[in-house]
C-alpha cells in the first residue's frame, strides 16, 4: 500500500493498481514519456543520451528489442534511430510501454518507459433517482464506466454550477460524496466530462428522506444507501484530520539533570537515551505508518467488511498526503556514475524503471492476497476467541510437527546467542 516504513502494516484492503515511481534520468537529455491518445492515431517517442554510447535499441516493455516483437509492424525509426513513430493505435495497444537502451562503458543503460494510454469516450450510466437519508453519509455515484478518467469535468445542480460545500460535500468526475446529507442537497445533478476522445453529459436526481422504507425502491429509487470504500475513506480522512489538529505531536525531548553528586552518571544515562532515539525521519515514517493503519481500520469499520475492499489510487494518495508518507513522493537519481558502478546498500535503483522494487523497507510482492484476522495487520489465529474466525494452531506447534531437524547434536558448544548475533548482523546489513 504505502511503499515505505509507514506501510509496514500488511492489509487486506486492496489497491486497484500501484502507481510506479519512475527514476529521474540526468544521463538522458530526452526520454519517452507517457502519452494519452485515441484509436487510429500515431504517437512519437524520442531518445537522446548525454553519455557516449555505441548502440541504441528501442525496447518493448523495457525488455525486448521492439523490432523483434509483433509490434515491429507499427514502428518507424528515423533521425538515426533516436526517434520512433508508433501506430496506427489499436485497442490492443492500450498500456503498451516503449523505452530505449544504450550501450556504454558502464554497460547497457535503459531509459524510462513511455506508456501509451488510449482515451475512450466518457461514459456514464447513473440511476435516474437515488435516495439519501438526511443526516447520514452518502455517495452519489454516477457510475462512470469509461475506464479512462476525463481531462476536465464540471458539475451543476438544478441548472446552476455546483462547487460542493467545503469538507461536507466533495466530488470528482465519478460522483459526489456527502459526509452528512442535508435537506437542501436534494435536486437534479448534472456532470459534464471531457477528454481527448469526446464529451459526455449525465444527469441523476437525489431525493432526501428522513427514513428508509421499501417504498422508495418501489417508486424507482435506488436501494438502501450503504457505505462504499470511497465514502468510508473520505469520512476516515476527515476524522483523522480533526484528530491531527487536536493532538500535539510532542516531538521535542527535554531532560532535567538534578543537582547531586551523581550527576555525571545521570548525564551518561541521558546521552545513552538520546543515542537510542530514532532519527526524525524514522519517527515521522513511524507516525505515518500508525496513522495509515488507523485510517484503514476506520474504513473497515465503516464498510463493515474485512475482505474484498478496494481502495483506488486516488484515495490512497489522499491517505499518503494526510499522513505525510513522504516515501511515495521521493525521486531517485539512478544515473549517477556511483550508482551505475556500484549497487546501492538499500536496494534502490536496482531496477532502473521502478527504483523502489526490492528496496528496503518496501513490502514484498505477494503471490496470494493478504489474509489477516482483522483485515489489517493481525495474523490469523492471533485472537483464538474471535467468533468470526476459526481457531488456528500456533506456529510453534506447526513447525514442531512438520519441520524436524535430523542434524547431529551441537558439538561446537554454541548457544542461541550465536544464532541471534548472526540475525542481528544480517538484518542490520540488509535493513530487513
Phi/psi for 87 (5° steps) reads: 155, 180
The grid coordinates of residue 316 equal 490512497
The predicted pLDDT at position 23 comes to 40
Q: H/E element holding 400?
A: helix 395-402
The predicted pLDDT at position 334 comes to 76
Residue 149, CA atoms < 13 Å, CB-side half-sphere: 9
d(Cα 112, Cα 67) in Å, to the nearest integer? 18
The grid coordinates of residue 110 equal 535503459
The predicted pLDDT at position 150 comes to 87
- The DSSP code sequence of 140-153 is EE--B-SSS--SEE
Helices assigned H by DSSP within 225-367: 229-246, 263-276, 280-303, 313-323, 337-341
CA dihedral (71, 73, 76, 81) in degrees, to 10, reads: 60
The grid coordinates of residue 203 equal 444527469
| Residue keyed to cell 562503458 | 105
pTM score of the predicted model: 0.58
Q: Which residues of the chain have pLDDT under 50?
A: 1-26, 215-224, 248-255, 257, 260
The predicted pLDDT at position 73 comes to 93
Amino acid at each position: 500500500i504505502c511503499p515505505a516504513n509507514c506501510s509496514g502494516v500488511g492489509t487486506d484492503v486492496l489497491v486497484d493498481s500501484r502507481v510506479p515511481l519512475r527514476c529521474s534520468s540526468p544521463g538522458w537529455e530526452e526520454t519517452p514519456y507517457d502519452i494519452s491518445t485515441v484509436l487510429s492515431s500515431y504517437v512519437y517517442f524520442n531518445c537522446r543520451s548525454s553519455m557516449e554510447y555505441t548502440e541504441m535499441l528501442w525496447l518493448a516493455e523495457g525488455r525486448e528489442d521492439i523490432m523483434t516483437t509483433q509490434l515491429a509492424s507499427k514502428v518507424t525509426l528515423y533521425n538515426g534511430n533516436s526517434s520512433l513513430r508508433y501506430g496506427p493505435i489499436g485497442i490492443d495497444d492500450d498500456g503498451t510501454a516503449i523505452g530505449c537502451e544504450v550501450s556504454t562503458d558502464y554497460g547497457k543503460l535503459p531509459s524510462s518507459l513511455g506508456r501509451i494510454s488510449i482515451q475512450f469516450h466518457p461514459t456514464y450510466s447513473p440511476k435516474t433517482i437515488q435516495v439519501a437519508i438526511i443526516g447520514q453519509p452518502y455517495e452519489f455515484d454516477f457510475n462512470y464506466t469509461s475506464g479512462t478518467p476525463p481531462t476536465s469535468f464540471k458539475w451543476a445542480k438544478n441548472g446552476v454550477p455546483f462547487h460542493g460545500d467545503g469538507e461536507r460535500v466533495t466530488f470528482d468526475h465519478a460522483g459526489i460524496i456527502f459526509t452528512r446529507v442535508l435537506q437542501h442537497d436534494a435536486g437534479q445533478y448534472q456532470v459534464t466530462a471531457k477528454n481527448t476522445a469526446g464529451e459526455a453529459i449525465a444527469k441523476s436526481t437525489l431525493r432526501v428522506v428522513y427514513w428508509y422504507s421499501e417504498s422508495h425502491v418501489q417508486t424507482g429509487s435506488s436501494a438502501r444507501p450503504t457505505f462504499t470504500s470511497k465514502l468510508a475513506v473520505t469520512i476516515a480522512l476527515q476524522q483523522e484530520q480533526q484528530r491531527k489538529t487536536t493532538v500535539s505531536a510532542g516531538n521535542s525531548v527535554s531532560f532535567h539533570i538534578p543537582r547531586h553528586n551523581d550527576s555525571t552518571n545521570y548525564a551518561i544515562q541521558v546521552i545513552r537515551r538520546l543515542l537510542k532515539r530514532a532519527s526524525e525521519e524514522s519517527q515521522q515514517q513511524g507516525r505515518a505508518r500508525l496513522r495509515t493503519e488507523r485510517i484503514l481500520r476506520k474504513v473497515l469499520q465503516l464498510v463493515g467488511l474485512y475482505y474484498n475492499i478496494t481502495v483506488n489510487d486516488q484515495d490512497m494518495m489522499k491517505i499518503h498526503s494526510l499522513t505525510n508518507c513522504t516515501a511515495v513522493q521521493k525521486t531517485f537519481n539512478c544515473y549517477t556514475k556511483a550508482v551505475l558502478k556500484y549497487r546501492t546498500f538499500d536496494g534502490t535503483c536496482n531496477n532502473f524503471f521502478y527504483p523502489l522494487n526490492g528496496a528496503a523497507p518496501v513490502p514484498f510482492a505477494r503471490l496470494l492476497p493478504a489474509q489477516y484476522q482483522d483485515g489489517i495487520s493481525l495474523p490469523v489465529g492471533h485472537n483464538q476467541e474471535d467468533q468470526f474466525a476459526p481457531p488456528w494452531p500456533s506456529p510453534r506447534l506447526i513447525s514442531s510437527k512438520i519441520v524436524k531437524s535430523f542434524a547431529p547434536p551441537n558439538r561446537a558448544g554454541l548457544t542461541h546467542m550465536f544464532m541471534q548475533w548472526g540475525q542481528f548482523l544480517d538484518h542490520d546489513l540488509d535493513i530487513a
